[in-house]
Protein backbone atom coordinates (compact mmCIF):
# COMPACT_ATOMS: atom_id res chain seq x y z
CA UNK A 1 0.00 0.00 0.00
CA UNK A 2 2.86 2.35 0.80
CA UNK A 3 4.32 1.81 -2.68
CA UNK A 4 0.94 2.50 -4.33
CA UNK A 5 0.52 5.74 -2.37
CA UNK A 6 4.05 6.80 -3.34
CA UNK A 7 3.44 5.98 -7.02
CA UNK A 8 0.14 7.88 -6.94
CA UNK A 9 1.82 10.98 -5.52
CA UNK A 10 4.59 10.73 -8.14
CA UNK A 11 2.08 10.42 -10.98
CA UNK A 12 0.04 13.37 -9.71
CA UNK A 13 3.17 15.50 -9.57
CA UNK A 14 4.16 14.49 -13.10
CA UNK A 15 0.68 15.32 -14.42
CA UNK A 16 0.82 18.74 -12.77
CA UNK A 17 4.23 19.43 -14.34
CA UNK A 18 3.01 18.39 -17.82
CA UNK A 19 -0.19 20.43 -17.49
CA UNK A 20 1.84 23.47 -16.47
CA UNK A 21 4.23 23.01 -19.39
CA UNK A 22 1.36 22.67 -21.88
CA UNK A 23 -0.33 25.78 -20.50
CA UNK A 24 2.91 27.78 -20.76
CA UNK A 25 3.17 26.72 -24.39
CA UNK A 26 -0.36 27.99 -25.01
CA UNK A 27 -1.80 24.50 -25.37
CA UNK A 28 -4.96 23.08 -23.84
CA UNK A 29 -4.02 20.78 -20.94
CA UNK A 30 -7.54 19.33 -20.49
CA UNK A 31 -7.37 15.51 -20.55
CA UNK A 32 -10.69 15.03 -22.39
CA UNK A 33 -9.63 17.42 -25.13
CA UNK A 34 -6.30 15.66 -25.51
CA UNK A 35 -8.06 12.30 -25.52
CA UNK A 36 -10.19 13.43 -28.45
CA UNK A 37 -7.16 14.48 -30.40
CA UNK A 38 -5.34 11.21 -29.78
CA UNK A 39 -8.19 8.69 -29.95
CA UNK A 40 -10.35 7.58 -32.84
CA UNK A 41 -14.02 8.45 -32.50
CA UNK A 42 -16.38 5.63 -31.60
CA UNK A 43 -18.61 4.11 -34.29
CA UNK A 44 -21.43 6.69 -34.28
CA UNK A 45 -24.07 8.15 -36.56
CA UNK A 46 -26.25 11.20 -36.05
CA UNK A 47 -27.90 14.04 -37.89
CA UNK A 48 -27.32 17.72 -38.39
CA UNK A 49 -29.87 19.57 -36.29
CA UNK A 50 -28.82 23.18 -36.96
CA UNK A 51 -26.49 24.93 -39.40
CA UNK A 52 -24.81 28.31 -38.81
CA UNK A 53 -25.59 31.01 -41.38
CA UNK A 54 -21.99 30.92 -42.66
CA UNK A 55 -22.20 27.13 -43.27
CA UNK A 56 -19.12 26.59 -41.03
CA UNK A 57 -20.60 25.16 -37.83
CA UNK A 58 -23.27 22.60 -37.15
CA UNK A 59 -25.11 21.25 -34.14
CA UNK A 60 -25.54 17.48 -34.23
CA UNK A 61 -27.79 14.99 -32.46
CA UNK A 62 -25.04 12.91 -30.85
CA UNK A 63 -22.66 13.80 -28.03
CA UNK A 64 -20.68 12.67 -25.01
CA UNK A 65 -23.19 9.90 -24.16
CA UNK A 66 -22.26 8.41 -27.55
CA UNK A 67 -18.53 8.66 -26.76
CA UNK A 68 -17.69 11.88 -28.60
CA UNK A 69 -15.10 14.27 -27.19
CA UNK A 70 -13.67 17.54 -28.45
CA UNK A 71 -11.25 16.84 -31.30
CA UNK A 72 -13.00 13.87 -32.87
CA UNK A 73 -13.44 14.09 -36.65
CA UNK A 74 -16.56 12.78 -38.40
CA UNK A 75 -17.67 12.39 -42.02
CA UNK A 76 -20.51 14.61 -43.27
CA UNK A 77 -22.77 13.40 -46.07
CA UNK A 78 -26.29 13.45 -47.46
CA UNK A 79 -28.48 10.51 -48.40
CA UNK A 80 -31.70 10.46 -50.39
CA UNK A 81 -32.41 10.88 -54.09
CA UNK A 82 -29.12 12.70 -54.68
CA UNK A 83 -26.54 11.35 -52.16
CA UNK A 84 -23.44 13.50 -51.62
CA UNK A 85 -20.24 13.43 -49.63
CA UNK A 86 -19.94 16.88 -48.05
CA UNK A 87 -16.64 16.66 -46.18
CA UNK A 88 -15.42 16.33 -42.61
CA UNK A 89 -16.23 18.11 -39.37
CA UNK A 90 -14.32 18.38 -36.11
CA UNK A 91 -16.10 18.35 -32.75
CA UNK A 92 -15.46 21.66 -30.94
CA UNK A 93 -17.86 21.34 -27.99
CA UNK A 94 -19.85 18.49 -26.56
CA UNK A 95 -22.83 17.96 -24.25
CA UNK A 96 -24.28 14.61 -23.22
CA UNK A 97 -26.68 14.29 -26.18
CA UNK A 98 -25.52 17.05 -28.57
CA UNK A 99 -22.32 18.45 -29.99
CA UNK A 100 -21.12 21.36 -32.08
CA UNK A 101 -18.76 20.67 -34.96
CA UNK A 102 -16.82 22.87 -37.35
CA UNK A 103 -16.28 22.12 -41.03
CA UNK A 104 -12.67 21.21 -41.80
CA UNK A 105 -11.62 23.23 -44.83
CA UNK A 106 -14.55 23.67 -47.18
CA UNK A 107 -17.50 21.47 -47.97
CA UNK A 108 -17.21 19.40 -51.14
CA UNK A 109 -17.90 21.72 -54.12
CA UNK A 110 -19.01 24.45 -51.70
CA UNK A 111 -22.17 22.50 -50.98
CA UNK A 112 -24.51 23.99 -48.36
CA UNK A 113 -25.06 21.79 -45.30
CA UNK A 114 -28.70 21.03 -44.55
CA UNK A 115 -30.61 19.88 -41.50
CA UNK A 116 -30.87 16.07 -41.46
CA UNK A 117 -27.55 15.60 -43.28
CA UNK A 118 -25.64 12.72 -41.70
CA UNK A 119 -22.54 12.84 -39.49
CA UNK A 120 -20.84 9.53 -38.81
CA UNK A 121 -17.59 7.76 -38.26
CA UNK A 122 -18.08 5.86 -41.52
CA UNK A 123 -20.16 6.56 -44.60
CA UNK A 124 -23.04 4.11 -44.77
CA UNK A 125 -25.90 3.63 -47.18
CA UNK A 126 -29.45 3.43 -45.97
CA UNK A 127 -31.56 1.00 -47.83
Which of 43, 56, 100, 108 lies closest to 82 in space, CA to CA?
Answer: 108
| Per-position pLDDT tens, the chain of length 127 | 899 899 999 988 988 887 787 777 776 667 666 655 667 889 999 999 999 999 999 999 999 999 998 889 999 999 988 899 999 999 999 999 999 999 999 999 999 999 999 999 999 876 5
Q: State the pTM of this model.
A: 0.72
How far is C-alpha 90 from the geometric centre of its chain's CA atoms?
A: 5
Residues paired with residue 32 on neighbouring β-strands, in sequence order:
none
CA dist., res. 2 & res. 31, Å (int): 27
3-state helix, strand, coil in the chain (%, to 5): 30, 30, 45
Amino acid sequence: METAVKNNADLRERVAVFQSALTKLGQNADFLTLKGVTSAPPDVEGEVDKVSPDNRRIEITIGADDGLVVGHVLKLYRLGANPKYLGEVKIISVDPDRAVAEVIGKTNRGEKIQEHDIVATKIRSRG
